[in-house]
Structures are given as C-alpha cells and as structure tokens.
Structure 1
Amino acid sequence: MVEVIRVTDTEDLVNRAAERFVDVARAATAPGGGINYDGVARIVLTGGTAGIKLLEKVAGIGADLPWEKIHIFFGDERNVPVTHPESNEGQAREALLSRVAIPEDNIHGYGLEGLDAAALAESAADYERVIDQFAPRGFDLHLLGMGYEGHINSLFPHTDAVREETRRVIPVLDSPKPPAERATLTLPAVRSSQRVWLLVSGAEKAEAAAAVVGGASAEDWPAAGATGAAETLMFLADDAATGI
C-alpha cells in the first residue's frame, strides 16, 4: 500500500525527497548495508521535471556520499544517444553524476543510439544481464515520475509492456509518448526494489494520483503496480492531491 507524503509544491517535494535519498544512500553504503548486505547502494533514477530537480538537489547535499559504493541504473531510456537532450541518462549526468565523484563503471546506462528494432531488443537483454551482475537481488531505491495517465518508466496503460510478468527489461517500439522507441524496466523489476518513491506534482496528475492511492489496476494506471518490498512512498504536491 502506498504511503502518501504531502508536500506543498515541487520545491518542497524535491527538498524532502532529496534528504531521504541521502539518508537511504548513506545507510545502504554503511558496512553490511544495502539490499545485498555488502555496503553497496543500488539506485534507479528517473527523468521528468521533479526527478531531474531532485538529482540537482542531491548533487548539492549529497556530494560527500561514498559514491564509489553507489551503483546507478535508469528506469527507462529513449532510443537516442546520451548526448541527445531527451536522454534520461544524459540529463542525469548533467544534473548529478558529472558533479559527484562516482566511478564511470558504476553508471549503468542502456547504450541506445538510434538502434533498429533487433538491436534495441538485444540492448534490453544486455541490460537485464547487467542487472543480474550488479543488482542480483534488486535495488535499494527506485525513483519514479508519473504521467497524467499514470505511466511510469515507459509502461503505459493497456500496453503489453505494463502486462509483462517475467522479464525485467524490455524494448518498447510503440510508446504513445514520443519518441516511440525505448527500453524500460518492467513492473517485476520495479517490485524487486526495497523502496519505491513516486514523485508527483501538477494538477493534471490528480486523477492518476487518486487512482493509485485508491488501489486501482496497474493495467489502467501503471503506477498502481509500482510497489517496494519495504516501502512505497508517494511524494504528493498539493496541486496533484485534489482527489485525495
């Protein structure tokens, strides 16, 4: 069941989530900490306005984290080079990863560069193997933005992607939100996380937020299927909370 943390606006959301992010990362990197009990934090980042602002905040207040003990993954990626302005990894590098002392080998991107369908599918399979190697028991924290229709990562309502039950990473060739071609973590991958945080602000997301809090079907509202093993939080700004 999702726990709602009410915040006044996007700035308040970012500040409160960033403080918790640093606390989670610090605890996971302590001796014996983390989902693998190895003192390594495994964190999945998200894009979107709130997600990128959160990363910018973490770069400021979390610069002293032991970044050599933190591994970064991405919830989804568009089929564009990292240098493209729509690349989630590229945005995360600019907002956070280029500003802290994280080893390059700890940043696990999808490596998409305008691939054809076959190569995109192989890249998704490769990313699942990366997860097997570096996050075999799942993630300590998965950050998620949410669209007005409840989509998370590249999992949209009433699509095969949101219905996926076994694979943790899949290619998407028909995203209703451009660009159409992407790779994404699935709900099984999200649910392998200890903590799942939804970052929700904007009046256009009020209906989706109410559906998720009310326990709607993930088929209809994909964010409703995003749950963490230990914690599921929705940081909910006042403008998106009118239905709750």
Structure 2
Amino acid sequence: MGYQLFEFENLKDCHKALIERFKEFFNTALKKHHQVSIAFSGGRSPISLLQKLSVLDLKWHECLISLVDERIIDTNHDDSNTKLLHDYLLQNNALKASFIPLLPKKISSDTNALFNFANQHFKQPHLAILGMGTDGHTASLFPETSAFLNEEKENIVLTKPANAPYERLSMSINALENCEKLFLSISGAQKRGVLENALKENAPYSLPIARILHSQKVTTEVFYAKN
C-alpha cells in the first residue's frame, strides 16, 4: 500500500501515461466485477484529461461514473462538478456510461437532506481519480476541516472550507481508502513541494493528502508533470 510516483517532463506525457493505466485498470476491473465504477474529481485542472478519456474505445456502457466531491450549488452552475463531467467527460464514447449524482436535480437548502441523499445513492468506486490543492487538500477534504480527521463511517461527508467557496459534499477518507486504486494527478513546482512534504514519514496529518499517501489500505499512483 502507500504510493507509487511517476514523474514526467510535461503534462502531455503525464496524461498519456495516466490514460494507459486508466485503460488497463478499467479492463481488469471489468473482467473482475463485470461492471466498473469510477469517481472523478472536479475543478478546472482535469478538463483536458477528461476530454481525452471521453474518446477512449472502452465498454463505457458497463461503467458507473460518479464524483469524488461536489459543491452544493445548482448542477447547471458553471462551478458545478456535475456540469463539468457532463460537459467534458460524458461525451463521445463515454456518453454510454451511467452517471450517479451526488446531488438531486432540485437543490434544497436543507444540507442534512442533501447529505442523506448523497449517502443513500453512493456506489463504492473501484477507482478514484484525485487532484490536490496547494494547501494539501484533496477531494473536498481541506486542512481546516475536521471531517477527514475523524474515523468517518459515512461514505460522503459535508465540509465547509474556510478559504474556498461553497459548502461541499465529499467522499470521506474511509470511502477513498475502500477504493481498489487511487490515481493522483498534479503538475507544477509548487504542488511538487506540497507533495514532497506530504510524502515525508513524519508528514503532518493536517494535510489530507498525506493521510491518503500513507494509507495502509490503498495504493495511490501519483502522476506528476513538471510543466
């Protein structure tokens, strides 16, 4: 368990390698389970990767797509991760995949109801593709939130980041560790510094990504591009 680090000079080569591993995992998991479940992170960074994945010649009709995290906003909002996946991943060949939403179509102001909806509809992914912020957050598990520190039994947790907009729903540490594999995609010198800090044996558990990278339950394959 723990992590494997793969380094590349540029994002193009990094994405190429990640896509090859994605195809390999997809086909292996499909043979094993007869259906493959994959969770994707949001944000702007993965757009080009999502577009490349959408055209892969895979048995997408046997795939369940879900979100690692979501902002509690209308799913048609430009900041919605649901909209992001529909715009960039659930297109082309990947349009045949089934999507499991974290939020209902009509967003209630009752966050407890949204929390319950997300957990009731949760399907444990075989693979989750993660990103990382310069503060060491991953999914919507932020350093200043307490959700990731607790031994959460729920698969989805409600978080309220202090330095980022919107309340959010996020896969818990527990749910991430129950994946068969995690992919982490990052680029740039600043995030490399955060990664190196998180990889130290005495890495502070205030960094959510450190909790993942030092997990004894799941291996994270880290794909790092210098530029």
TM-score (norm 2): 0.88
Tell me, in whole angstroms, the C-alpha distance in 1 between the residues paired with 2:180 and 2:21: 14
- Is 1:5–2:1 an aligned residue pair? no
| Structure 2 letter corresponding to 1:27 | T
- Is 1:45–2:40 an aligned residue pair? yes
Number of the residue aligned with 2:102: 110
Tell me, in whole angstroms, the C-alpha distance in 1 between the residues paired with 2:30 and 2:216: 19
Number of the residue aligned with 2:148: 162
Number of the residue aligned with 2:197: 211
Judge conservation of contact 1:51–1:144 (CA < 8 Å) in 2: no
**Stretch of structure 1 that moved more, 93-102 or 20-29:** 93-102
Cα deviations by residue, 1:6-52 (Å, 9 ceiling, x for unpaired): 1112222222112211221122222xx1xxxx311010101234422
Judge conservation of contact 2:54–2:91 (CA < 8 Å) in 1: no
Tell me, in whole angstroms, the C-alpha distance in 1 between the residues paired with 2:72 and 2:43: 16
Shift in alpha-carbon separation, 1:204–1:176, aligned structure 2, 3 A: farther
CA RMSD of aligned residues (A): 2.1
SS of equivalent to 1:161: coil
For 1:16-165, list aligned pairs within 5 A.
16-30=17-31, 33=32, 38-60=33-55, 62=56, 64-103=57-96, 106-111=98-103, 115-116=108-109, 119-131=110-122, 135=123, 138-165=124-151
SS of equivalent to 2:126: strand
Judge conservation of contact 2:42–2:70 (CA < 8 Å) in 1: no
Cα deviations by residue, 1:188-231 (Å, 9 ceiling, x for unpaired): 11001010111111222122100222245463211112248453
Aligned residues: 222
Tell me, in whole angstroms, the C-alpha distance in 2 between the residues paired with 1:179 and 1:40: 35
TM-score (norm 1): 0.82
Shift in alpha-carbon separation, 1:88–1:216, aligned structure 2, 3 A: farther
| Structure 2 letter corresponding to 1:209 | L
| Structure 2 letter corresponding to 1:160 | S
SS of equivalent to 2:127: strand
Shift in alpha-carbon separation, 1:88–1:207, aligned structure 2, 3 A: same
SS of equivalent to 2:180: strand
Runs of 4+ more than 6 Å apart? none
Judge conservation of contact 2:178–2:218 (CA < 8 Å) in 1: no
Shift in alpha-carbon separation, 1:215–1:144, aligned structure 2, 3 A: farther
For 1:165-184, list aligned pairs within 5 A.
165=151, 166-172=153-159, 174-184=160-170
Shift in alpha-carbon separation, 1:126–1:114, aligned structure 2, 3 A: closer
Shift in alpha-carbon separation, 1:22–1:160, aligned structure 2, 3 A: same
Number of the residue aligned with 1:242: none
Larger RCO (CA within 8 A; separation ≥ 6): 2
Tell me, in whole angstroms, the C-alpha distance in 2 between the residues paired with 1:148 and 1:67: 33
Measure how far apart 1:103 and its partner are.
4.8
Tell me, in whole angstroms, the C-alpha distance in 1 between the residues paired with 2:203 and 2:155: 20
| Structure 1 letter corresponding to 2:114 | S
Judge conservation of contact 1:67–1:100 (CA < 8 Å) in 2: yes
Number of the residue aligned with 1:14: 15
